[in-house]
Chain A
Amino acid sequence: MDGVYLLFILLLSIFVGFELIQKVPATLHTPLMSGANAISGITVVGALALAGSDNMGEYSTYLGAFAVFLATINVVGGYLVTDRMLAMFKKKQ
């Protein structure tokens, strides 16, 4: 039953995603991709629990910590580079 409930969430968010992203104009497609890179760094949330736990075995903790490291690059790098790009998009003066 748990899996079905998760599938529900998946289905709904895919629909929302399709609706929203179809409205993004072509001129913003590169920032959209780098912004999406940052969002996919959400894996960090999953990795945190694995890296910070004491009772799961040392091996798992190290692997989790490495995942935290990687996902943080995505989050920080992704948002900053997107902001840098978006700051350049200007209206006609």
Chain B
Amino acid sequence: MIETTTTDLVINFSYVLAAALFIFGLKLLGHPSSARKGNLLSSIAMLIAIVVTMFDNNIVSFQMIAIAMLAGSILGVLAARMIAMTAMPEMVSLLNGIGGLASLFVAWATVETNSEFTAFTMLVTFLALLIGAVTFSGSLIAWAKLSEHITGRSVTFAGQAVFNSLLVLVIIFTAYLFVAQPTMLAGVSIDFNVVLYTAMALALLFGIMLVLPIGGADMPVVISLLNSYSGLAACAAGFALHNNILIVAGSLVGASGIILTNIMCKAMNRSLSNVLFSGFMPVTNNDMVIEGEVKPLSAEDAYYVLEAAQSVVVIPGYGMAVAQAQHAMKELQQLLEENGAEVAYAIHPVAGRMPGHMNVLLAEADVSYEQLFEMDEINKRIQNFDVAMVIGANDVVNPAAREMKGSPIYGMPVINADLAKNVFVLKRGMASGFAGIDNPLFFKPNCRMIFGDAKETLGHMIRQFSD
């Protein structure tokens, strides 16, 4: 590091080039038509960074590297090929976790090199270890919740807040032991390895405690946040290794995750701390009385309304992903368009289990991105639509957010489906959404409930059209 050789110079210049390509790649991600090229540029940047690093004079044995890279590549290819589009939230949380674990191991390997480190290096290494471990265990819990290996609901126990506060204090104390490395403390001799392992165990526990109390509907926030952490962990590892490209790439990912987290929080009208800690608070009961009655409708009767409709807006939610109804919806869309109707899709930012979840599913079903509209655009003209079809969405179309002051979701921006001329709600039963609140939309005079599996209901309508 002290002596700058030609090789070092070449490596660092290539890192500058790689950084520029990463940035340019992200810029191209700004539009669906250029996004694929952007991703390609970004991957070329990664390739350049990896290849030039191999020329590092310190790297003398390639055997282990080759085995590790080959095994990693095989697993990566398999995962990317086999994963179903509906399982994308699970895939992203697993990748978040693996990224965090990689940074944890880089930090661990760094302290095992038996070199002398400054306090600054020890501090950033500790941060890489901490953030990496939290990302890993937190992402595993998020993955387990998303894939329903454990309950998707908020998990809480008595004294959770006290326990977590204590945990934070102990972690801070461990950080002191890790950085200052006192050999004796209060008459007890301290082994650095014990400190290291304790730090890792505590950080892993902290990640679990962070995600456990968060319920399913808040998953988009958690995935975005963990995405950000995985970048920050890489960034901290970059500080520990004095590697610029790690810092640049890591902070780009960190910034991306923070922006997404912010968008998700705004879409739910909640602060980040409210999302992270609301599991600790008792659910506020609202004793608002909803008047009116629920009016069920058969798919056959719904067909007659759809046949006469000039414009239809589809509002999908997580239920559409569960029912795998996106392909059936696309089929119905084509029939409606052949029938002369305009079909638009309205996507709420937190519909589904991760940012952009619905968009990917509809893209998979061949729905053009030009037909997908964001909440604000559609709300301006929702009253002009003849039919609003709500497929497996609940809280994101809940008018209580607009008109019931006592409701827990009051103030949250929602798609105003109830303002359309007719509203069809495709739903399994009358169960409330993840937020656990009644939805006055179902009781509105212009709303009809079409109970049953969304895919089957859509199938009924499609058959009616074909007859």
Contact yes or no, B106 A75, CB < 8 A: no
Contact yes or no, A16 B252, CB < 8 A: yes
Using a CB-CB cutoff of 8 Å, which residues 6-64 of chain A contact chain B? Answer: 6, 9-10, 13-14, 16-18, 20-54, 56-57, 59-64
Give chain A's interface secondary structure class. Answer: helix
Contact yes or no, A49 B259, CB < 8 A: no
Contact yes or no, A83 B39, CB < 8 A: yes
Known contacts A33-B92, A43-B237; A27/B102 CB under 8 A: no
Known contacts A17-B251, A67-B109; A39/B60 CB under 8 A: no
Pick from B177-185, B283-291, B351-359, B403-411 the stretch touching chain A. B351-359
* Residue from B32, B60, B113, B357 in contact with A89 in the complex, judged by beta carbons closer than 8 Å: B32
When distances are taken between beta carbons in the complex, the residues of chain B under 8 Å from A52 are: 54, 56, 58-62, 64-65
Known contacts A27-B372, A52-B65, A67-B105; A6/B95 CB under 8 A: no
* Residue from B23, B46, B246, B355 in contact with A30 in the complex, judged by beta carbons closer than 8 Å: B355
Number of interface residues of B (CB under 8 A): 113
Instruction: Report Cα–Cα, A34/B99, bound state, in Å.
Output: 11
Instruction: Report Cα–Cα, A46/B136, bound state, in Å.
Output: 18
Contact yes or no, A80 B76, CB < 8 A: yes
Contact yes or no, B76 A57, CB < 8 A: no
Contact yes or no, B109 A60, CB < 8 A: yes
When distances are taken between beta carbons in the complex, the residues of chain B under 8 Å from A42 are: 46, 49, 234, 245-246, 249-250
**Is B96 part of the contact surface with A, judged by Cβ < 8 Å?**
yes
Instruction: Report Cα–Cα, A59/B279, bound state, in Å.
Output: 41
Quote the shortest CB–CB distance from A4 to chain B (angstroms): 10
**Is B419 part of the contact surface with A, judged by Cβ < 8 Å?**
no
Known contacts A65-B64, A67-B109, A84-B80; A46/B95 CB under 8 A: no
Instruction: Report Cα–Cα, A78/B249, bound state, in Å.
Output: 14
Contact yes or no, B30 A24, CB < 8 A: yes
Contact yes or no, B360 A31, CB < 8 A: yes
Chain A: interface size category: 35 or more
Known contacts A18-B259, A30-B355, A34-B92; A76/B58 CB under 8 A: no
Known contacts A43-B237, A45-B243; A74/B99 CB under 8 A: yes
Contact yes or no, A72 B30, CB < 8 A: no
Using a CB-CB cutoff of 8 Å, which residues 201-242 of chain B contact chain A? Answer: 223-224, 227, 230-231, 233-235, 237-239, 241-242
Contact yes or no, B50 A33, CB < 8 A: no
Contact yes or no, A22 B259, CB < 8 A: yes
Instruction: Report Cα–Cα, A82/B68, bound state, in Å.
Output: 23
Known contacts A46-B238, A69-B68; A92/B247 CB under 8 A: no
Q: Could you list 17 A-B pairs, sorted by A, with CB under 8 Å?
A: A13-B255, A14-B254, A17-B255, A27-B356, A27-B369, A32-B260, A35-B39, A41-B102, A48-B65, A51-B68, A52-B61, A56-B115, A60-B109, A75-B43, A89-B363, A90-B369, A91-B33
Interface residues of A (CB under 8 A from B): 2-3, 6, 9-10, 13-14, 16-18, 20-54, 56-57, 59-93
